[in-house]
Every structure is written in C-alpha cells, then in structure tokens.
Amino acid sequence: MSIKQHLLSKIATGDGHGENSPYFDGWKAYDSNPFHPTSNPEGVIQMGLAENQLCFDVVQQWVLDNPQASICTAEGVDEFRDIAIFQDYHGLPEFRNAVANFMAKVRGDRVAFDPDRIVMSGGATGAHETIAFCLADRDEAFLVPVPYYAGFDRDLRWRTGIKLIPVACESSNDFKVTREALEAAYEKAQEDNIRVKGLLITNPSNPLGTILDRETLTSVVSFINEKNIHLVCDEIYSATVFSQPDFVSIAEIIEGEIECDRDLIHIVYSLSKDMGFPGFRVGIVYSYNDQVVSCARKMSSFGLVSSQTQHLIASMLSDDAFVKKFLEESAKRLAKRHRNFTWGLSQVGISCLKSNAGLFLWMDLRRLLKKPTFEEEITLWRVIINDVKLNVSPGSSFHCPEPGWFRVCIANMDDKTMDTALTRIRKKFAPPNKELLVVPKKKKCWQDHNLRLSFSPRFSPRSLYEDMSPHSPMPHSPLVPTRT
C-alpha cells in the first residue's frame, strides 16, 4: 500500500466491487471496440448486457401520443414547477399507485400490491443494497442458489459487508433449487459459525432464464419459515416470460393457504428489464414488514428516482391500454427472438438450457472444452471475445459450479445485428463438412433442452480448437485484449 493509500478507506483501496472479473472485462473489450454495422462492422458485439430493446417503437409511439406526460414539452410545462420543487422520499402518490398497479398486471391481476409499501430506489442495484442493509449486519449471510447474477457480489456485499453463501444447483436437474440443497447450505453455514439471515432467489432466473414453479416456491417459503430467516425475491424479469408455464410471484404463494410469517417476505423489482428502462433507475423495494418499509424509505434518500421520471412513468403505467399492448407485444417479440437465436445455434450443434423467460440464453458449450475445467472455460471465452468478437459472459462469473456454460444476451440488438452474431458463430464453430444432421423444423427442436445434434464420425467438436488461440494461464483478473 502506498503512503497516500493508507489515508483512504478499505472500500476505496479494496476490490470488493468485483470489477476485476471476466464479466466486467468483457464489457471493457466491447467499450474499446464496439460493433457498428457501418462504421465498425468488425467490432465486438455486446451480448453481455441484459437489456430489452425489442419494444422501443411501442414506447416511443406512446410518448409521441402523450406529450403532456413530460414536463419538458409545451403540453406538459404547466406542471413543471410542481414536479421540479422538493419531493420527499415517499415518492409521488400517482407514481406509487401506477407501479403497484403495473406489478399486479404483470402477475395477471392474481394478486394486489399496496402502494404504501412501494419504496423507491436507484434501480435494482440500490434496492438490493437497501434490503441487505435492512436485514443483515456485517459478516452475516444470505444463501443464494447458483448460478446467480454476477452483480450480486457488488450489490449486496461491497458496502454492506455481508456474505453470500452458494446453494448448490446442478445441470443434471436443470439447476433447480431443492430443499436438500438449501438444508445443506444452511447446515454448512452453521458449522462455519456464520449466521444466516436470509435466502435470496431470482425468479425468473438470471442467468438461466427459467422460472420457479409453485411447488418450489412453496418449499422455499416453508424452509425460510422453519429457519426464521428472511426471503428476498428478485422479480425484476417477471414481465419477460414469453411462454408457458406462467410466472408465479412469491406474493401469490403467501396469499394462498401456506402458513408464513409475512414479516420475512420482501420483493425487489424494477423497470430496467421488464420495460427496458435501465437509464431511468427505477428500483423498488416491496416488503411485507412494516419496519423494513420504514427503514428502507428513509434510506431511499440516498438513491431516489427523479420526480420528472416518476411523473412520466406514472402517466405511462396508468394507461391500461398501453400496458396491455406493451406486455403482449414484448412477450411475442421475446419469444420470436428466443426461437430464432436458439435455432441458429442449433445449426452448429449448440444447445441451451430450456427456458421461457429473461433476455438471455444459458448456452451449453461444455463439449467444446478440451478439459472440464474453469481454466478451459476462460480459454474458450477469450476465443469468443478475441476471434468471434462477441461479448458473452462465462458461467464462472455467475458462480456456476460446472465449467462450460455461458450467458448470451439476445434482446439488446436489432435483427441484423443478431444475424451478424449468428454468422460469426457459424464461421467459427461450424463443422468442416456438410454432414450435420438437424431435426426437421416441424418438430420445433429449439424447444427441446435435451437437443443433441448428430455429427459425422469424422467430425469431433475438439477439432474446432485447432485454429484457436493458444492456452494461457488464467490470471486473477484477465484484461481482455481486443483486435481491430
């Protein structure tokens, strides 16, 4: 440590943010050489960003049709003063009402939400940190099923000092959360003298794109109730479910017949994924615990949603006709993008975990590893970044226990860019002969997560590595070089 560094805090001089990981290094590769269809067609395509850009035309049309929703237009300027002056941390009543109504509609109006329990935060990142501060002290822990979103290490641990304990989930059962795995993780924490304060689940899952069924959710509620620990449910992808089975919110489970201490139940929500508005930083803490609501609301002073944004969102989400159209169109377009991309991957023998939600695919490249190790996974990831010029995220950055899985985001680009990405994959990973056997289209093979394509005996997936970059040791923080 330098002489000046000792004058700074441990947060300032440490690496708790988690930026030194392949997840963020892929972003650096993209930032230094971003793809553009005309000015930089050989650049890196961003497939590491879970962003929903498929329905911006629907949103933009609403904005054009409703200029009064913005205080920066001639039609809405009369409300400029009232919106621009000080607003307390409760938020605009019309905003909280609209968000509560939208959350209910996303869940098929099977459950209602109380606007007085809506607490604002600066995106889901701020919401997660707020709930962590409310529920746990430094060195206490949350159980988290793996694989889990790479940003949780930053969001929940960096400034709070809490621990995240992985709950083992395996590909052999499609990474499902089991009671046995929860019990094992909890008991291990007890043996290590770590106090477990809660369980964090994501539903739908990031990075898997799967949903938790009613039976699993009921088991989870039973588990946390027996252990008397909190349950934090990240439901920020709830409106990205594009096919059966339907999304089931934890709110529906506790409204049912199950006996549960509701003070233990908390939901994190945002409009970043469902609506495609990450720049608006609309995060929500919804807790059934009055004390948590009170504390979280006070803490929200550190990350409020601007009143201008609240005003616009309140108007937009109060338009029931728009909400209905948006949700229907978004599901339809996500389903089409998912179908087209998985079909394109299948043409070169690449399959994905069966999923029906999210803005990404959990791509299975295990058979392309020379050895089943995380070092080989990083080697393959470097090839994809440097040679194929796609920023995808390796499973190890999501704490996946098995090497060879990658998250690839598919909703943050237009159709032409998607085609370019698939073309690059075909050029790099297509077999060297024409004897690739594909299931006929009528069988909808992209819907089968057990899909395995047959290859000629002359072709081995390992042969794909003959023209790849040589192996290199996996450093602690690989800074990815990009080529122009």
457 CB burial (10 A radius; 0-12, 13-18, 19+):
exposed
User: Which pair of structure tokens corresponds to residue 39?
Assistant: 């000015």
Q: Is the dihedral angle over the CA atoms 435, 437, 441, 446 positive or is it negative?
A: negative
Q: What CA–CA distance (Å, rounded) separates 91 from 68?
A: 20
The C-alpha torsion from 324 through 328 and 334 to 339, rounded to 10°, is 170
Catalytic residues: 149, 234, 236, 273
- 233 close to 203: Cβ distance less than 8 angstroms: yes
Residue pointed to by tokens 């003063």: 81
Helix residue spans in 213-355 (DSSP H): 214-227, 250-254, 290-299, 307-317, 320-346
CB atoms under 10 Å from CB of 373, counted, come to 13
Task: Return all residues near 475 (Cβ < 8 A) that are at least 6 apart.
Answer: none
Angstrom CA distances, 165 to 186, 198, 239, stand at: 9, 10, 28
CB 449 within 8 A of CB 469: no
DSSP state of 211: -
Which residues is 390 bridged to in the sheet?
Answer: 45
Evaluated on CA atoms 249, 170, 356, 404, the torsion sign reads: positive
Q: How many Cβ atoms sit within 10 Å of the Cβ of residue 10? A: 8
